[in-house]
Amino acid sequence: VSKRFHIGVFDSASLNDFGTVTWRHPDNESYRFTDISYWIELAQRFEDAKLDFLFLADTWGYSLVSGARKDISFTEGLDLPRLDPAIVTGAMAPATRDLGLVITASTLLELPYSMARRLSTLDLISGGRVGWNVVTAGFANTASAVFGREMPSHDSRYDMADDFMELVYKLMEGCWQPDAIPADKGGIYADPARVHRIDHDGPYFSSHGYGNAPSTPQGTPFLFQAGTSGRGQLFGATHGECIFLQGTTPPRVAEYVSSIKQKAAALGRDPESIKSVVGLSMVVAPTREDAQRKYQSYLDLQTPDLAIASYSMFTGIDLSGYDPNTLMDELHTEVGQTQVDRFRGRTIGDVTMEFQRRGVRGFISVGTPDEVADEMCSMAKAANVDGFLLEPWIQPGSTVDFIEHVLPILQKRGLFREEYEEHTLRERMQGLGSSRLRDDHLGARHRPAGQ
Ligand SMILES: Cc1cc2nc3c(=O)[nH]c(=O)nc-3n(C[C@H](O)[C@H](O)[C@H](O)COP(=O)(O)O)c2cc1C
């Protein structure tokens, strides 16, 4: 029997995502992103389908091309405006019961002490369904500028992220024991012997005192990591429990998966405990011709100017400033490196065209429900991943097409659950009875003795 897939939906509380622009499509409802009923409807729909989680990506930055913001970024709502995913998630939590809720939060721009409380609050109000996609900061150049800070170099942002995580583990694992609060009106509220003062003096952050939030069902939220730059992979191997990947070919994704697992094993973790899910943009219709037509209707919305603006947003690099025959291998950036590394061996001309078609989207599958289901099976095998992160071209249309037409095929093949069997997100991803960080995870070292 094959393993069941993990399937989440990738979205963000903004008009467009993935470096493509589809908001104008007549069937796209993403323009409703400021309306909380839109998010609640989506979450309930995904929960009815028993999907693993809804992930809301986030960034504080925006697109700048060679120092200037292009009008097209405003007129197409390429990157701004957006909403805070933690608050949107806080509203979805009580409207759902089982769906995992995953948000991105930045270790460059947030403070660990307040971020820990925000994530613990979400974990409590959702009953342990929260995941955290830990990123340093996408679009780090413009994001740093809006916060009035200098942008640290690429690799030092990850050093800072390691320090951020250590403090968060101390707060979430080491301070309030799960049994610290008997809340007994005849006795005590909190037991002083079960609440531990933390002291942290790291290279970037320090904190002295007590966590501001109590222990939560998962302790530390289930940790995702994305970003396949060299330093990013090491960070993922250290902290990630599930790796988000986007790749254009299964062999390239398989390479990342095995590289991260090797690095994790070298750090003393069980490499097989680390899950990975890969981005998949699908277009499904009753016939292949209909699917192609639908796909073309999304491609028709993309333009070369948008591709330049969006590539620059991810990398800080203006592709229009180069000879199209230049090899991508010659480029270097201190902004995001994944979208440079990903295309190594190709020319700038190729990448400009490719970015216009797909932005940062991962695998693309276009066809009938059976064709797409077959392709998912072969992709998962060839890429050695545990599942998929659906990247809707339009929302909810693309996800609903998947739920109504492809999911039943996967279920018939035993590749997707019929019912939820667990409550916390970590249990869903790692198995029943595993709501807390595994003992071989770095964060577990910060638990008080005997816990
Ligand atoms: C599936 C997926 C989701 C991502 N979501 C975010 C996100 O929400 N915010 C963000 O800043 N970067 C996000 N990223 C991008 C990476 O984390 C990005 O590469 C990183 O922020 C830049 O660092 P790097 O130089 O290590 O690539 C995502 C990447 C992938 C593959």
User: In this model, does residue 450 exceed pLDDT 80?
Assistant: no
Confidence bin at 2 (pLDDT 50/70/90): low
Of 108, 129, 105, whose CA–CA distance to 118 is shortest? 105
Would you state the pLDDT for residue 442?
A: 97
User: In this model, does residue 1 exceed pLDDT 60?
Assistant: no
Over residues 183-227, the pLDDT tens digits come to: 999 999 999 999 999 999 999 999 999 999 999 999 999 999 997
- Work out whether the CA dihedral 166, 171, 175, 180 comes out positive or negative: negative
Would you state the pLDDT for residue 255?
A: 95
Confidence bin at 451 (pLDDT 50/70/90): confident
Over residues 218-253, the pLDDT tens digits come to: 999 999 999 788 899 999 999 999 999 998 899 999
d(CA 290, CA 294): 6
Phi/psi of residue 302, nearest 5 degrees? -90, 145
Across 444-451, average pLDDT: 89
Across 416-434, average pLDDT: 96
Q: With the CA atoms of 424, 250, 248 and 407 taken in that order, what torsion angle do they form, in degrees rounded to the nearest 10?
A: -50
Q: Are strands 198-201 and 206-209 parallel, antiparallel or unpaired?
A: antiparallel
Closest atom, ligand 1, to C-alpha of 225: 17
Least confident piece of the model among 176-190, 197-211, 327-341, 432-446: 327-341
User: In this model, does residue 283 exceed pLDDT 90?
Assistant: yes
Kindly state the greatest CA–CA separation across the chain: 77
Q: What is the pTM of this model?
A: 0.97
- Class of residue 439 by CB neighbours under 10 A (exposed 0-12, middle 13-18, buried 19+): exposed
Q: Which structure tokens are listed for 274?
A: 């680390």
User: In this model, does residue 303 exceed pLDDT 70?
Assistant: yes
d(CA 136, CA 144): 11
Q: Measured in angstroms, how far is the CA atom of residue 161 from the centroid of ligand 1?
A: 14
d(CA 305, CA 70): 9
Q: Measured in angstroms, how far is the CA atom of residue 173 from the centroid of ligand 1?
A: 26
Across 316-336, average pLDDT: 92
Q: Closest residue (by CA) to atom 22 of ligand 1?
A: 336
Q: Measured in angstroms, how far is the CA atom of residue 139 from the centroid of ligand 1?
A: 9
Q: With the CA atoms of 367, 373, 376 and 378 taken in that order, what torsion angle do they form, in degrees rounded to the nearest 10?
A: -100
Residue 84: CB atoms within 10 Å: 14
Confidence bin at 449 (pLDDT 50/70/90): confident
Over residues 143-182, the pLDDT tens digits come to: 999 999 999 999 999 999 999 999 999 999 999 999 999 9
Say what angle helices 154-174 and 112-125 make with each other, to 10 degrees. 50
d(CA 282, CA 362): 10
d(CA 101, CA 222): 10
Would you state the pLDDT for residue 391?
A: 98
Q: Is the CB of 142 under 6 A from ligand 1?
A: no
Q: Which structure tokens are listed for 275?
A: 């899950």
Question: What secondary structure letter does DSSP report for 32?
Answer: G
